[in-house]
C-alpha cells in the first residue's frame, strides 16, 4: 500500500473514527456511572478520558515502516484510542466488566490484547509495564452523531491504575529509546519501581478494605436514617459529607443497631418531619438524613451532643428549639 493511498483513506475516515471513539467513551461512562454509584465519575476516573486520533505521520510510520502488516490500514488497531485511569486494581475490573457488557449489548467485539494479570502469571519474576488493553471493533449498523460507523473499525482502550499510569508516563518516552534501553541499571531501577507499585497497590487494596469494614456500622446507621428520612418527608435524602461528619463524631452517642430508640422517638414526635420539610429550601442541614440523629440526640443526650457537635451550631440550636428546648448556655 502506498503512503498516499493510506493517508487519503485515513483523512476521509477520521470523522467516522472520531464518532466511534466518542460512542465508546459515552457508553463506558454511562455503564460506569450506574455501577459505581453513589461514587461520582469525577472521583472514580482519575484522569479525564480524551479519545485521541493518531497523527498522520505516526500512522504512516507505524503502519508502513515499523510493522509488517498484511493489511496495514485494517490491522492497525490503535488508529484511535482512549485511556481510563482509576485508583485500584479492583477498579480496573469494574471498567472491564462495563466493556464486556458493551460487547454483550452488541455494540462491539472486545478482545483483550494485553492483560497484566496474565502477564504476571506468565512471567512471575519480571516487573514491567502493566495495563489492560482492549481492542474494540464496531459491530455492523452503529450510527452515532449522524455518522455510520464502519463495521470492524478498531479502537484501543487502555485501563490502568494511577500508579501504573505514573510508571508508564515515566518510562514511555525515555526508556524505549534504543540508547537508554541498553543501560541495565536504568532498567533495573524501573523494574524496582514497578515492583514497589505492585506492592503498594496491594496495600492500597487492603487499606480500602479495612477502611470499608471500619466504616460499616456508621454506614448502616446512615442507611437507616436515610430510609426513615425518605419515609417521613417523602423527599430524597441528601448525601453530602455532613452526614459522615456527624455520624463519625456522634456515633458513640447513638444507639446500636437496630436503632429502635430512634424509630420510636420519631414515631412519637411526628411533627419533626413537618419541621424538616418547612426548612428544606432555606437550611441545607435539614436536607441531610443525619438531621434525624441530631433531633434524637438533642432529646436523649442534649449536653453530650452540644459538647461535641461538629457542624454549624445554629442548625443544632434550631433542632433544640423545635423540641422546645433552650440551647444557649
Partner 1 sequence: MLNRRPDSEVSFACTMCFGGAISVAQGSIKTNRAMAFENLTIGRIIIHEIFRLNEDRTMVDPHYGNGLIQLDAEAKDALQKRITEALGSSSHGVEMSIQDSGAQSAWLAAKNIIDAAGNNAQFIALSQTITAKLAASQTTKVVPGGIVVVIDGTAGHPARPFVCAIKAEPHPGFIKKEENGQLLLEYLKELILTPEAKLYKIGAFIHADPAQVDPQQPTAGWRAFLFDDLITKGNRLGAAHYFYSTFLGLVFPSNSAFQTKEFHTLTKTFIKSANIDEERRSDLLNALTAYLKADQIATIQVGVFSDTYLGTPELKDAYTHYMEQNEFPVQAIHKDLSEVAPALKKRKITFGHNISLTAPPEEFEGLVRIQAIDGDADEHGQVPKWTQITIRDRIREQE
145 SS3 class = coil
Nearer to partner 1, 153 or 318 (CB): 318
Q: Write out the residues near partner 1 by the rule CB under 8 A.
A: 252-253, 255, 261, 264-265, 268-271, 275, 278-279, 281-283, 299-304, 306-307, 317-318, 320-329
- Residues paired with residue 144 on neighbouring β-strands, in sequence order: 147
For residue 276, which phi and psi values (nearest 5 degrees)?
A: -60, -45
Nearer to partner 1, 80 or 262 (CB): 262
End-to-end CA distance of the chain: 87
Nearest to 83 by CA among 58, 51, 127, 126: 51
- Separation CA 304–CA 249 (nearest Å): 11
Nearer to partner 1, 46 or 283 (CB): 283
Nearest to 252 by CA among 180, 291, 300, 210: 300
Q: What is the closest distance, in whole angstroms, from the C-beta atom of residue 234 to partner 1 in the complex?
A: 19
Which residue reads 497484566 in cell numbers?
A: 116
256 SS3 class = coil
Which residue reads 480524551 in cell numbers?
A: 50
Nearer to partner 1, 176 or 251 (CB): 251
Nearer to partner 1, 9 or 325 (CB): 325
Q: What is the closest distance, in whole angstroms, from the C-beta atom of residue 33 to partner 1 in the complex?
A: 35
Amino acid at each position: 500500500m502506498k503512503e498516499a493511498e493510506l493517508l487519503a483513506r485515513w483523512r476521509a475516515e477520521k470523522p467516522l473514527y472520531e464518532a466511534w471513539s466518542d460512542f465508546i467513551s459515552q457508553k463506558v461512562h454511562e455503564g460506569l456511572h450506574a455501577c459505581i454509584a453513589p461514587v461520582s465519575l469525577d472521583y472514580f476516573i482519575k484522569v479525564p478520558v480524551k479519545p485521541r486520533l493518531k497523527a498522520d505521520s505516526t500512522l504512516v510510520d507505524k503502519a508502513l515502516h515499523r510493522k509488517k502488516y498484511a493489511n496495514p490500514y485494517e490491522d492497525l488497531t490503535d488508529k484511535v484510542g482512549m485511556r481510563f485511569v482509576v485508583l485500584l486494581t479492583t477498579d480496573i475490573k469494574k471498567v472491564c466488566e462495563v466493556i464486556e457488557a458493551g460487547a454483550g449489548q452488541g455494540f462491539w467485539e472486545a478482545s483483550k490484547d494485553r492483560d497484566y494479570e496474565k502477564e504476571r502469571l506468565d512471567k512471575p519474576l519480571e516487573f514491567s509495564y502493566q495495563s489492560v488493553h482492549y481492542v474494540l471493533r464496531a459491530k455492523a449498523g452503529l450510527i452515532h452523531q449522524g455518522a455510520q460507523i464502519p463495521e470492524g473499525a478498531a479502537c484501543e482502550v487502555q485501563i490502568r491504575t494511577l500508579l501504573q499510569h505514573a510508571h508508564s508516563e515515566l518510562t514511555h518516552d525515555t526508556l524505549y529509546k534504543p540508547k537508554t534501553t541498553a543501560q541495565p541499571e536504568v532498567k533495573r531501577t524501573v523494574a524496582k519501581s514497578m515492583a514497589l507499585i505492585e506492592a503498594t497497590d496491594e496495600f492500597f487494596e487492603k487499606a480500602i478494605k479495612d477502611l470499608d469494614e471500619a466504616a460499616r456500622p456508621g454506614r448502616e446507621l446512615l442507611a437507616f436514617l436515610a430510609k426513615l428520612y425518605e419515609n417521613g418527608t417523602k423527599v430524597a435524602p441528601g448525601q453530602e459529607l455532613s452526614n459522615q461528619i456527624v455520624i463519625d463524631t456522634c456515633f458513640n452517642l447513638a444507639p446500636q443497631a437496630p436503632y429502635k430508640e430512634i424509630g420510636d422517638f420519631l414515631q412519637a414526635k411526628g411533627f419533626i418531619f413537618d419541621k424538616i420539610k418547612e426548612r428544606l429550601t432555606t437550611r441545607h442541614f435539614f436536607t441531610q438524613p443525619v438531621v434525624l440523629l441530631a433531633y434524637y440526640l438533642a432529646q436523649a443526650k442534649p449536653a453530650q451532643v452540644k459538647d461535641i457537635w461538629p457542624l454549624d451550631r445554629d442548625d443544632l440550636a434550631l433542632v433544640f428549639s423545635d423540641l422546645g428546648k433552650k440551647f444557649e448556655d
